[in-house]
């Protein structure tokens, strides 16, 4: 529905509703922007660059990039099929699966980390079996990835599922009528058409993995070079080296901001949007 239909037909004076929206909007934007601006103002660009070159920062940056890329890849591979399943059919226990997928979004990360220890820790339920294969997750880089995967699943599945659900059923049915198997329909029809939502999921889950703190420090511990990602390094630096903490924080904000902004600026969304519209017209 066009927004103008909601607005008052008389244009002589701005309506009370519009003023209220403007006030609420500026309050919220100011509230969100001010802390970021305050952080940026805290340090000069020259200082920032000098700090960024320190080994602690570089170690944390490298580790954060490696782990969050790995976590996002895993979440993508496991999350997209689940999103498709949830969007395309009903099955017993679907509600439970939906809740499970959403849960990490509202779970305190420390609780998630503790639960991960209970499951995959050395003395944990599955951890003992893993140990038989010589795999130990706590205190390892792999453990960091596990914590990030756990926490970022909802951010992949949510947008991907919404995107799959929004697809024109007729296209999928047409593919089926033409004799395509579900695998073919999924890879050649559904996946390309739902790409904008899936990419949104990739960006969101990547950003979430990048910012993961609580589950990581609880499950994987904190050691520079192997488990100390950028958010952990910020936390440690806050207590001993404030300037490095600021530098790391600014870097994290820039990366997260860039990721989410890139998602909106990417041509792929509109491109696929057009294709979809044209396909639907035919």
Residues that bind other proteins (CB under 8 A): 16-17, 20-21, 24, 117, 121-123, 138-139, 217, 220-224, 227, 235-236, 238-240
Nearest CB to other proteins, comparing residues 38 and 277: 38
What are the backbone dihedrals phi and psi of residue 216, each rounded to the nearest 5 degrees, phi first?
-65, -50
Supply the minimum distance, in Å, between the C-beta of residue 229 and other proteins: 13
What is the DSSP code string of 100-155?
Answer: HHHHHHHS-HHHHHHHHHHHHSTTSTTHHHHHHTT---TTSHHHHHHHHHHHHHHH
CA terminus-to-terminus distance, the chain = 24
Phi-psi map region of 134: left, alpha, beta (phi>0 left; psi -120 to 50 alpha) = left
Close Cβ partners of 227 (under 8 Å, ≥ 6 residues apart): 63, 139, 140, 141, 143, 144, 216, 220, 221
The least distance separating other proteins from the CB of residue 52, rounded to whole angstroms, comes to 21
What is the smallest separation between the CB atom of 249 and other proteins, expressed in angstroms?
14
Judged by beta carbon, residue 120 or residue 186, the one nearer other proteins is 120
Question: Least distance (Å) from other proteins to the CB of residue 121?
Answer: 5
Tracing tokens 């960024």 back to the chain, one arrives at 52
Smallest distance from the beta carbon of 5 to other proteins, in angstroms? 16
Gap between the Cα atoms of 252 and 57, Å rounded: 11
**Both tokens assigned to 155:** 């951010």
Measured from the CB atom, is 27 or 279 closer to other proteins? 27
Please give the full DSSP string across 158-188, using - where no structure is assigned.
HHHHHHHHTS-HHHHHHHHHTT--HHHIIII
If the CB atoms of residues 54 and 165 are measured against other proteins, the closer one turns out to be 54
Nearest CB to other proteins, comparing residues 113 and 201:
113
> Six-digit token pair at 54?
């320190």
Nearer to other proteins, 128 or 170 (CB): 128
Q: Residue 242 CB, nearest distance to other proteins (Å)? A: 8
CB of 17 to other proteins, least distance (A): 6
Nearer to other proteins, 207 or 220 (CB): 220
């Amino acid at each position: 529905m066009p927004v103008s239909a909601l607005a008052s037909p008389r244009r002589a004076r701005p309506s009370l509703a519009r003023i209220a929206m403007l006030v609420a909007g500026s309050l919220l934007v100011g509230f969100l922007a001010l802390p970021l601006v305050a952080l940026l103002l805290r340090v000069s660009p020259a200082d920032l660059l000098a700090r960024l070159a320190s080994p602690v920062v570089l170690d944390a940056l490298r580790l954060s990039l490696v782990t969050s890329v790995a976590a996002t890849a895993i979440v993508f591979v496991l999350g997209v099929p689940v999103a498709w399943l949830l969007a395309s059919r009903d099955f017993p226990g679907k509600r439970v699966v939906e809740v499970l997928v959403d849960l990490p979004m509202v779970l305190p990360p420390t609780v998630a980390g503790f639960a991960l220890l209970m499951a995959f820790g050395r003395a944990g339920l599955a951890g003992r079996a893993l140990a038989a294969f010589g795999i130990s997750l706590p205190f390892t880089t792999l453990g960091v990835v596990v914590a990030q995967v756990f926490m970022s699943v909802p951010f992949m599945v949510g947008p991907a599922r919404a995107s799959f659900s929004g697809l024109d059923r007729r296209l999928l049915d047409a593919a089926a009528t033409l004799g395509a198997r579900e695998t073919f329909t999924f890879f050649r029809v559904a996946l390309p058409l739902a790409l904008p939502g899936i990419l949104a999921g990739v960006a969101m889950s990547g950003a979430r993995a990048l910012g993961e703190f609580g589950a990581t420090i609880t499950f994987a511990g904190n050691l520079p070079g192997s488990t100390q990602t950028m958010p952990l390094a910020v936390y440690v630096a806050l207590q001993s080296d404030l300037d490095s903490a600021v530098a790391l924080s600014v870097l994290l904000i820039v990366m997260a901001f860039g990721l989410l902004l890139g998602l909106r600026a990417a041509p792929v969304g509109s491109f696929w949007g057009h294709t979809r519209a044209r396909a639907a017209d035919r």
